[in-house]
């Protein structure tokens, strides 16, 4: 339950980001930094971490274990996961030189869905290309990056790099073992803008995206066989989205949207009103590797959305953020160290929780409430640390506020052994 509650925290915070685009660069980094949270939680020159997990009230028999091996700089080299009887479940091996990561080999002993991630760098140490392959060596995804060179021109015209992309497309089309892979050609321009072409070679779908130096979306094109739509976005000096427009292939305007913001004295917007012109609703998706399009008329809409936000900083450094629109009402409270104290979300269902953290920022108590303010559940976590401040024991308990329920129940007990260089 603790893990589900923390997941709800993350989803709540993520939903507050306005015009948040999940870039393909971030997807690349997600694989590389899959163990980043664990690295940040560890202090000192950690060499190995062996972790055993026990469930319910059975601390004598683990339900599973993990082993992590790191280099002296804290970079992950290998990771193993084992079942309760000691059989290996999966293994991940990193080939690297310091921060530069060249390969990740993932072996899944259960599903046999093994994958390999390969990465190459240019002479300046920048990521030039990376690829993902399945167990049979079929390409799943490839990213080719082009960077500015002297004079401001991009390296996108490089014959070698263009050949690499063409070869990847040809290989993907000719390989019938897998569904449509993704080929991404990304160009970084001297002015800070980034242009991406994501191509699905078998279904012949192109998704073009342009972002500015601040990662704000400027243009998005969905080019699907039988359907096309281009959208543009404009922002004010504060970075707020002020205007967007959608076009068909001929350049005809399908929809326009204007956004007005009202700001407080610190420059944070407190009210946002979006007004739109109507357009047909077009849905584009892939089904069984093939594109399909559905379209139906929308009712005439003059006011698309209205949203209110309030940001308050109290004398003790505590911050309160509130959001409200037609479909949801949310707030969060954080202390001066940006640690979550309380949050509420009233959308499709109601969620409210309060949080207590220790000096390291780790949650030690989470209490959940219903709409009437009654406590419906509480979880506590106890840590035992070593001399470096890394926890070696973690005990998770839950209280169920129900008639006849036990006062508390041990959810999970985790013990880990840490060795140091």
Dihedrals phi, psi of 213, to nearest 5 degrees = -65, -20
Predicted pLDDT of residue 161: 46
| 266, part of any domain | yes
Residue 3: Cβ within 10 Å count: 10
The span from the CA of 87 to the CA of 109, in Å, is 9
| 295, part of any domain | yes
The span from the CA of 118 to the CA of 103, in Å, is 4
Return the residue matching tokens 């599903």.
111
Predicted pLDDT of residue 59: 60
| 156, part of any domain | no
User: Would you list the DSSP string of 68-132?
Assistant: EEE-TTS-EEEEEEEETTS-EEEEEEEEEETTEEEEEEEEETTT---EEEEEEE-TTS-EEEEEE
Read off the tokens for 379: 């979880």
Let me know: does 279 contact 255? Beta carbons within 8 Å.
yes
Residues of the chain with pLDDT below 50 are 1-40, 156-163, 165, 169, 172-173, 176, 279-286, 289, 291-302
The span from the CA of 117 to the CA of 187, in Å, is 21
In three-state secondary structure terms, 10 is: helix
Let me know: does 116 contact 105? Beta carbons within 8 Å.
yes
353: which residues sit within 8 A by CB, 6+ positions away?
5, 8, 9, 342, 343, 366, 367, 368, 369
Predicted pLDDT of residue 121: 95
| 165, part of any domain | no
| 239, part of any domain | yes
The pTM assigned to this predicted structure is 0.71
Predicted pLDDT of residue 420: 98
Read off the tokens for 38: 């664990």
Read off the tokens for 284: 């584009």
121: which residues sit within 8 A by CB, 6+ positions away?
100, 127, 128
Render pLDDT for 163-217 as a digit per residue (tens, 0 to 9): 454 555 455 445 545 567 899 999 999 999 999 999 998 888 999 999 999 999 9
Dihedrals phi, psi of 331, to nearest 5 degrees = -155, 160
Burial class of residue 311 in the structure, from the number of CB atoms within 10 Å of its CB (0-12 exposed, 13-18 middle, 19+ buried): middle
Dihedrals phi, psi of 306, to nearest 5 degrees = -140, 125
| 293, part of any domain | yes
Return the residue matching tokens 């926890």.
391
Let me know: does 77 contact 70? Beta carbons within 8 Å.
yes
Domain that holds residue 258: 228-311
185: which residues sit within 8 A by CB, 6+ positions away?
144, 146, 156, 165, 196, 197, 199
| 292, part of any domain | yes
Strands 391-400 and 409-420: antiparallel
Predicted pLDDT of residue 417: 96
Predicted pLDDT of residue 117: 96
- Count how many domains the chain has: 1
Rg (CA), the chain: 25
Let me know: does 296 contact 280? Beta carbons within 8 Å.
yes
| 247, part of any domain | yes
């Amino acid at each position: 339950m603790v893990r589900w509650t923390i997941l709800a925290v993350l989803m709540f915070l993520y939903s507050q980001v306005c015009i948040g685009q999940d870039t393909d660069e971030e997807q690349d980094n997600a694989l590389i930094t899959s163990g980043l949270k664990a690295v940040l939680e560890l202090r000192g020159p950690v060499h190995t971490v062996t972790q055993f997990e026990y469930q319910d009230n059975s601390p004598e028999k683990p339900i599973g274990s993990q082993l992590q091996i790191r280099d002296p700089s804290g970079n992950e080299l290998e990771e193993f996961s084992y079942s309760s009887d000691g059989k290996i479940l999966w293994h991940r091996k990193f080939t690297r030189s310091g921060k530069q990561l060249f390969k990740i080999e993932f072996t899944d002993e259960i599903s046999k869905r093994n994958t390999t991630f390969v990465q190459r760098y240019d002479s300046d140490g920048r990521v030039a290309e990376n690829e993902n392959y399945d167990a049979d060596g079929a390409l799943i995804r490839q990213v080719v990056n082009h960077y500015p060179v002297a004079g401001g021109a991009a390296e996108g015209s490089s014959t070698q790099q263009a050949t690499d992309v063409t070869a990847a497309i040809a290989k993907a089309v000719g390989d019938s073992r897998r569904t449509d892979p993704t080929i991404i050609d990304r160009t970084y321009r001297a002015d800070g803008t980034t242009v991406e072409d994501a191509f699905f070679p078998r279904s012949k779908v192109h998704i073009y995206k342009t972002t500015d130096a601040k990662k704000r979306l400027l243009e998005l094109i969905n080019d699907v066989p039988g359907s096309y739509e281009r959208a543009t976005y404009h922002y004010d000096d504060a970075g707020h989205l002020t205007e967007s427009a959608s076009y068909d292939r001929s350049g005809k305007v399908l929809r326009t949207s204007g956004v007005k913001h009202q700001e407080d004295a610190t420059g944070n917007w407190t009210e946002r009103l979006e007004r739109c012109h109507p357009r047909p609703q077009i849905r584009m998706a892939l089904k069984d590797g093939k594109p399909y399009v559905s379209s139906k008329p929308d009712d005439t809409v003059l006011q698309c959305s209205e949203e209110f936000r309030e940001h308050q900083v109290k004398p003790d450094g505590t911050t309160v953020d509130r959001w409200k629109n037609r479909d949801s009402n949310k707030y969060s409270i954080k202390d001066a160290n940006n640690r979550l104290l309380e949050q509420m979300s009233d959308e499709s269902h109601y969620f409210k929780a309060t949080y207590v953290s220790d000096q390291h920022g780790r949650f030690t108590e989470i209490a959940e409430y219903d709409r009437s303010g009654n406590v419906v559940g509480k979880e506590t976590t106890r840590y035992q640390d070593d001399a470096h401040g890394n926890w070696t024991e973690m005990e998770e308990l839950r209280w169920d506020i129900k008639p006849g329920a036990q006062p508390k129940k041990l959810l999970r007990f985790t013990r880990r052994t840490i060795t140091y260089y």
